[in-house]
Amino acid sequence: MQVTVDVGGRPGRPGLDCRGFCSFCYFKGVNEVEPSGCRRCKPYKKGCDYCSREVIEIEPGYKPLQQLIFEVSQKSIYSTPEMITIKGNGDISCYPHLLNLVRTVSDGKVPVFLDYTSGKGFSKGDEADLLVDAGVQRISFSVFSTNPNLRRKYVNDKHPKIVLNNFQTFCERIELYAMIVLIPGVNDGLELEKTCRDLQEMGAKGLMLMSFANTRKQGLIFGNEPIMPDVTPYGTEDIRRMATEICENYDMRVIGTPLWDPITGAPFALAHHKEELKRLPAIEKSATIITSSVAYPLLSSIFEELGDEVNVVAAEKEIGNLITLEDFEKLALKNVKERAIIPGMVLAHDRDIHRALRRDGKRRLVFRGPDELTVVPERSIYITREEVLEKEIEAFTGLIMQINDLGSNIPAFYAGKSRAQEGHVSCEHIHSHSSRRDGSVQASKKERIEQMG
């Protein structure tokens, strides 16, 4: 069992609890935002606590220390957790009680994972040693560059050398996973090569290469685009290429987000391991899946192997959970069937979605699918390929069972099944899938990457 505790924070109002916006920050320029609607809204009302407040991370501030300690104790009442994850809306290095929180919840027994910091709250130089001694055993750290001048300018870091010294201490003593938001012409090219060499020499466990959203299509949904005028961010294929090259040349796990984990094949690793599709139940009904532009080719590849009962249609947005009503209103409807399944967390009210998907006169029924259908690379970097596949088998099994419950009837559904469907289990014999295998992959890193390609 793992326990997660959120310290809160206010990154979006305006750069509070993170000591100022990074140049590429998603929340920079956000003003008042009207509720978009979401799956948690009441059927008759658009706007709830989630889409009114949580989506733009409006919090009253950091939570009191005693409240967080109580939350952890309540979640750990029946058993001692294997790990406690501490995260926040602001930068957790800026949380004033971080050290005391780690000491208390770890108690020298339970490992602690600090899930995302840029380190801007470190200003003394000994923070890393103190936190590791208190129980921190893993950290994800947005380093941007090991060049202190670049961190000062683009991360808004007031103490870049001190922060980088702490960064090195974390690398040497615990599992550190570095994150680099790539800005063309700034921290790429030779600067990126130097940072990668530094990370390997310091002992970093992994590296996450990230693009940033600069347009609405890429995920800016608050009317604050562009974040950086006159900058065209790297596309998903560029990030994929660079992640693969760095993974081949350096001795650490490397992923590109939002698209590519060279070792596990996530997201949608099943698209690269189609022999695993025989573990899925047969599709007995017809439906359309509406997804993001990034997920579209991978999801299409999977469902083409499973037959022709389900087709996949792409919205313009690159990230499925950031699809809004505008995307549904722009979507061409000629290939959308009578039953449609959309990403579970799309940010639009169900009533408005139905209206947008019926504007051609057809009375379609629309259902929200699973909140998560795959493992995003930012999470797959911590687990094995086998574990990724198990999680996807479980999620796709749930999706197919939803299709079989809610989809349209298919005449003579057994006819014309694809070869991939042979040997599939039937729905009544589905058992829960759990991740039980943690065996290491024996092939070399380069061989594994080539298998993924």
Q: So where are the chain's domains?
A: 2-257, 269-434
Enumerate residue ranges in the chain where pLDDT < 70.
Answer: 11-15, 58-59, 411-453
Closest-CA residue to 313 (of 288, 282, 277): 288
Q: What is the pLDDT of residue 312?
A: 98
- Gap between the Cα atoms of 305 and 303, Å rounded: 5
Q: What is the pLDDT of residue 440?
A: 39
The single residue listed with the structure tokens 């709250």 is 121
Tokens representing residue 288 in the block: 């359309």
Tell me whether strands 175-181 and 206-210 are parallel, antiparallel or unpaired. parallel
Q: What is the pLDDT of residue 453?
A: 52
Write the CB contacts of 450 (distance below 8 Å, at least 6 apart in sequence). Answer: none
Amino acid at 291: T
Tell me: the pLDDT tens digits for 377-406?
A: 999 999 999 999 999 999 999 999 999 999
- Gap between the Cα atoms of 255 and 145, Å rounded: 17
Tokens representing residue 185 in the block: 């012409």
Q: What is the pLDDT of residue 255?
A: 97
206-210 β-sheet, strand order: 2-6, 83-87, 112-117, 136-142, 175-181, 206-210, 253-257
Tell me: the pLDDT tens digits for 261-285?
A: 999 999 999 999 999 999 999 999 9
The Cβ of residue 32 has, within 10 Å, a number of other Cβ atoms equal to 7
Q: What is the pLDDT of residue 444?
A: 53
Q: What is the pLDDT of residue 385?
A: 96
Residue 355 sits at φ, ψ, to 5 deg, of -65, -40
Q: What is the pLDDT of residue 128?
A: 98
User: How far apart, in Å, are the Cα atoms of 286 and each of 123, 279, 308, 408?
Assistant: 58, 20, 8, 5
Tokens representing residue 60 in the block: 């009253």
Q: What is the pLDDT of residue 158?
A: 96
Write the CB contacts of 432 (distance below 8 Å, at least 6 apart in sequence). Answer: 394
- Gap between the Cα atoms of 103 and 112, Å rounded: 9
Q: What is the pLDDT of residue 52?
A: 85
Tokens representing residue 73 in the block: 């104790």
- Gap between the Cα atoms of 399 and 310, Å rounded: 11
Q: What is the pLDDT of residue 427?
A: 43
Q: Which fold has domain 2-257?
A: TIM Barrel (3.20.20)
